[in-house]
Structure formats: C-alpha cells, structure tokens
A and B are shown apart, each in its own frame.
Chain A
Amino acid sequence: MNATPLLSGRGLRKHYPMGSEPVQALRGVDIDIFAGDLLALRGPSGSGKTTLINLLGLLDRPDSGTLLLDGRNTATLSEDERADTRRDRFGFIFQTFNLIPVLTAAENIGYPMLLNHVTRAEMMERARELLAAVGLAEKENTRPDLLSGGQRQRVAIARALANRPAVIFADEPTANLDSHTADAILDLLQRLNREQQVAVVISTHDPRVVERCTRVLTLHDGEIVTEPTA
C-alpha cells in the first residue's frame, strides 16, 4: 500500500432532511483511498455507502469534515473545477448503467474524452481499444437499448476508464445483473485494477464482491465499524 493516499477524508459528515428529523447518513467517517486499491464498502441498505461514494467522487459536498485529493482540499474547488476533476481523475459505474441512449457503445465510451477535447480519431481509437478490453469489440456501433444488461455494464466500465482515471467508483455495479454476468463484471474490474493500477471503490452488500476486494470497509449507521484486511 502506498503511503500517500489519493483521496483522504477526515470527519466526513452528511445529513439529509427527511420530514422533521434529519437523517444522519454519515457520522464522521475517516477514509483513505490509495492508488491500486480494490476497496469494498459494505453494509446494509441505508448504512451510508452511496453517500460516502458520492462525497469521495465529488458528486456531493459534506456538511463537515475535509476531503483531500492529492493533498489538496476539495472544499476550495468551484463547481467547474469539481466537474473537471471528476472528468480527469474519476470514473463512475452505476447500478443502472446510465448509458446515454442516443449514443452508440463507442460514443458512450468516447463522451468523457469529448469533454476532454480529445480529437475524434484519438477518441474512437481509445473507445475501440476499451471495447476490446471489455470484450465488446463487435458492439462499437450498437445503441444501449440493443445491449444486454451485462453488456451495458461492460460499456459503462469502459466509459469509466476512458480518461485513464485514478479512481473508479462503482455503486452496486452487479446489483442488476445475474450471477454469471456479475462474476464476469467482477473479473473485469479485478483485471483492470491489476493491469491498469486504477483504484476501484465498490459499494456493495454482495459477499461475492467483498471476497474479491483487497480492502473492505464496513459501514453501519453512517460510521465505519471495521476495516479488515482481505
């Protein structure tokens, strides 16, 4: 494990208003993400896994606490800087795939590169390369509605890798997949983590996912309760 974390959260707190009583989603979480991590965030529904991923991925802001990215406090970043950071440093994989329906598989993968002003030729070359890496080379021009759930998630993984991120956040990436497809997706994430040294943070309550990860954090009622080493 590297000594300097990519991401370092201290005392992260977040609450959501719900009726008269606010829900405490995170109650002072300390967390470090290192390069090459394959980290599982596990816990029951409502334990704060997704909230923590949202904060770490700069999709949301904590009520209190600090989050450092490469040693820089992310609280000082403007909205545009946060967007640029997500584009350049992070990749996201969602439970419901969230592919853009009007774009082909290759174009979905190319979209983050389009945001990065990559030339069309470079973009398509990289998209084809990533499609091949996730085993979907022949689906380059296929729209998402013609892909199976597993294929969509593979495209989503390839999209997450498009701009060569430092960290990929995957929120319940296998929840909507059958066990066979889920295994294939986990194999892929493991391989990419190993080969490309990209840190992967997976929120899950699937034991099979947890088994594959090198680090596991267990969340309960918004707090980290254990950090066993796999």
Chain B
Amino acid sequence: MNRLTIAWRNVARNRRRSLITGGLVAFGFVSFTLAGGFMAQSFDGLRHNAIRSGLGHIQFADPRAFERSEETTLEFGIHQAGAALKTMQADPAVDVVMPRLEFFGLVTAGGTSIPFAGTGVDPEAEMRGSDIPKTVKDGAWLKSGTRTVVIGRGLAKLLNAKLGDNLTLLATTPDGTLNATDVTIGGIAEIFIKELSERYLALPLPLAQDLLTAPDTVSRISVILKESASETAVAARLHDRLNAAGIRLDRRLWSDLAVFYQQVRVLYIGIFGFMGTVLVIIVFLSTFNTTLMSVTERTREIGTLRALGARSRRIATGFVLEGALLGMASAIGGTLLSLVITLILNLSEIHMPPPPGMAKGIVIHVQVIPTVYLLATLSMIVTLAIASYFPARRAARAPIVESLAHV
C-alpha cells in the first residue's frame, strides 16, 4: 500500500463516474490530437506548395531584390547566371536549380493588347523542381528550344486566344529600348487567382533573354534540395561558394519568403490554441464538478484521515494524485482511440475542401505528431490535477469535527 495505490483504488471506487469523466477527458484528448494531426498535414501541404510554387528551398538574388521592387527591367538582375547555376549544381545536396527571369510586357493577339507578367524559366528544371507545369490543363508545358509559351486561362480569355494562336510579346530591355518577338501558345495554365491568371505568361529562359536582350542574365535562382539536406547549412555553403567565385548574391530560405504560409500558420495555431483552451476549460469544469461530488461524498472519510493524523496537505495532494491518475489513464485511452480514428480516417480517403491558398481539395491524412500527444497528455494531467486540488483543499481544511459529523 502506498499513496499511488490508494489514489488508484479511489479512482476505481466509483467506476461509472470515473468512466464518464475519463471518457470526456479522452474525447478532449482525441479532439486535440486529431486537430493537431490535421493541422500538421495542412502545414506540410502549404509548405510543399510554397516550395514547389517556385520559391524552392533556398532562393538567391541580388541583395537589393529582396528589399524592394525593380523600377527598370532587370535592374537587380544576376549577370553571371551561368556561372552561378554551375556552382549551385555542383553541390551534392542540391537536387534542382531553377533560374527565373521576371519581367513585364505587352502581349498582342489580333487587335488586342494586354499587359502581362512574364517569367522566363528552364522548362526541364521546372518540370523536376516545381508544380507549375502541372497547372497546364490544355496543351503542354514549355520545351527548350521552341518558341511556345504558356499563358493563364484568364489572359487567354482577355486576348480571345486559344492553343496554337500566335502572339507578339513586347517588352522593355534593360537599356530602355523596346523589343518584340513572336511566339505560339503551347499551353494554357489553370491558375485559381484571377488577377494572376489574367497576367501569367511563361516562356523558355533563352527566349526571354533574347526578348530582353539580356544574355546570361536572370532575376533570381531557386534551389530545390535533396530530401535530407539542411536548408540553413546548404544556403550558407552555397553562399560561400558563390562568393568565392566572385558572384555576390544574397540568399533567403523559403520560410522567409512564404509570407502567406506564415500567416496561415499563425492563423491555424491561433485556432488550434483557442480550441485547446476551450477543451481544457470544458475538461476542467466537468472534472471540478466530479471532484466536488467525490469530495463531498468522502467528507467523513477526510475527517477520519485527519483524526488519524494525516495533514491537510497530504489529503489534498491525495485528491490531486487521483486527478492526475485519471488524467493519465484517460490520456492512454485517448491515445489508443486517437490512433484508431487516425488509421480509419487515413484509410477512408475522405476529401477535404481546399485549405487556404490551395486550388484543389485534399485527401485527409491525419499525422501522428508525438509532440502534440505529449502536450495533450500533460494538459489533461495538469488540468485534472488542478481541478481536483481546489475542492480537495477546501475539504481538507474544514473543521475535523464537522467532517466527522457529515452525513
């Protein structure tokens, strides 16, 4: 016999009440862990989207490009792009290097001219390192050495153009002169942000460099790393190697650039925190009520224990121990239940509505995050212990003779 076994026997003493309280705690636990697992899936999805939308794991550009927008074409361009690409590709941790040349221009089809936001890309690198080629729903993605372009469906609509139509692109070169080139629509991309869809135009990098008369120049370079590579370490290493080659570029990690991801993350964490707080309050109040009933029923027993020489603190901590044990048992039950529900949900392939910033719905896949399970377990144990403490302390401090006379 020790305090733990006495506490456990008291928990088991009124099985129905303990089961109801434990069930409620387990329900809270399951809600918390499932929400955490779903949130983690959403974060992973958003992270993947951000990286594969062209940001890459690491991005290199002229230091000024990270601070402000260009006022003239390629004002902050990288002029030794070939050498920079070669240096990056040589690193064993690098999977794909995606150069990008960003500019604005005017596209004309028939009698209609519309401003566009152009991006010159390496078509093959984009295929490997980004999800942008997957947005092409009509036609095909770009091919090197061709004069085909991919435009947003919104822009095609504004131009009243279709696959195979010829377009004329007009853009300002870095020295301020105008240049034009003829291209053919090879693909139409489905972009779900209307404003972007009405301006989107992608073309092979050499074609863009020709149009802007800017050979070996790009705006920025995105780097996709191999699975296990450390973003921070590789970014620093590449930076050093570029410096050593005389190429002065600054770098940013995807998390620094993905403002939307960070905003959604903060929002989700806020929602999760709010939900967790509500659950803890519900668990607290119901446990408080249960402990109050238990303490009231055991008033005479408390008086007896005190008469036998138990100090008030010992009696109060006995109830706290009971609460903590019930919390722990409920957390164990909740863990098992949560794992079973997670398995069922993941096998059921339920489609969820698209999360913020995503065009398509996702198949639910709840992750098992040990930290969330640990946090939920600690929350439940602490909540039950605190909820048990206050009624127990009050009862343990009541006059002994009143407790002994309690009916």
Contacts and interface: CB of A to CB of B under 8 A. Distances in A.
Interface of A: 54, 57, 59-60, 79-80, 83-88, 92, 94, 96, 98, 100-103, 107, 110-112, 114-116, 120, 123, 159, 163
A98 B310 CA distance: 15
Nearest to A86: B309
29 contacts: A54-B401, A59-B307, A59-B400, A59-B401, A59-B404, A60-B399, A60-B401, A80-B311, A83-B306, A83-B312, A84-B309, A85-B309, A87-B310, A92-B304, A92-B308, A100-B305, A101-B13, A102-B10, A103-B1, A103-B6, A103-B9, A110-B1, A111-B1, A111-B305, A112-B308, A115-B308, A115-B309, A120-B2, A123-B1
B100 interface: no
B304 A94 contact: yes
B1 A57 contact: no
A79 B312 contact: yes
B335 to A, nearest CB: 27
B182 interface: no
B1 A100 contact: no
Nearest to A107: B1
A33 B11 CA distance: 41
Interface string B13-49: 1000000000000000000000000000000000000
Contacts of A83: 306, 309-312
B349 interface: no
Contacts of A101: 13, 301
Nearest to A124: B1
Nearest to B402: A60
B300 interface: yes
Contacts of B305: 100, 111
A87 to B, nearest CB: 2
Nearest to B6: A102
A57 B312 CA distance: 17
Contacts of A114: 1-2
Nearest to B8: A102
B373 to A, nearest CB: 31
Given A102-B13, A103-B1, A60 B400 contact: yes
Interface residues of B, number: 22
Contacts of A123: 1
A111 B6 CA distance: 10
Contacts of B9: 102-103
Given A59-B400, A114-B1, A87 B308 contact: yes
Nearest to A171: B404
Contacts of A110: 1
Given A102-B9, A111-B1, A115-B314, 15 more contacts: A80-B311, A87-B308, A92-B307, A94-B304, A98-B300, A98-B404, A100-B305, A102-B6, A102-B10, A112-B309, A114-B2, A115-B308, A115-B309, A159-B308, A163-B309
Contacts of A79: 311-312
Best-buried of B13, B300, B309, B400 by chain A (most CB within 10 Å): B309
A15 to B, nearest CB: 13
Contacts of A92: 304, 307-308
A52 B10 CA distance: 33
Given A101-B13, A159-B308, A120 B1 contact: yes
Interface in B291-325: 300-301, 304-312, 314
Contacts of B401: 54, 59-60
A106 to B, nearest CB: 9
Given A59-B401, A59-B404, A60-B401, A86 B312 contact: no
A87 B309 CA distance: 4
Contacts of B399: 60
Contact of A100 (B301, B309, B312, B314): B301
B314 to A, nearest CB: 8
B304 A98 contact: yes
B364 to A, nearest CB: 45
A176 B399 CA distance: 25
Contact of B308 (A60, A80, A86, A120): A86
Nearest to A57: B307
A86 B305 CA distance: 11
A101 B308 CA distance: 15
Contacts of B400: 54, 59-60
Contacts of B306: 83, 86
B147 to A, nearest CB: 86
Best-buried of B9, B307, B308, B404 by chain A (most CB within 10 Å): B308
Nearest to B315: A83
Contacts of A86: 306-309
Contacts of A59: 307, 400-401, 404
A188 B304 CA distance: 22
Contacts of B304: 92, 94, 98, 100
A197 B104 CA distance: 106
A94 B309 contact: no
A103 B10 CA distance: 10
Contacts of B10: 102
Nearest to A83: B311
Contacts of B312: 79, 83
Contacts of A94: 304, 404
Contacts of B310: 83, 87, 115
Nearest to B405: A50
A230 to B, nearest CB: 28
Contacts of A102: 6, 9-10, 13
B13 to A, nearest CB: 6
B334 to A, nearest CB: 25
A86 B404 CA distance: 15
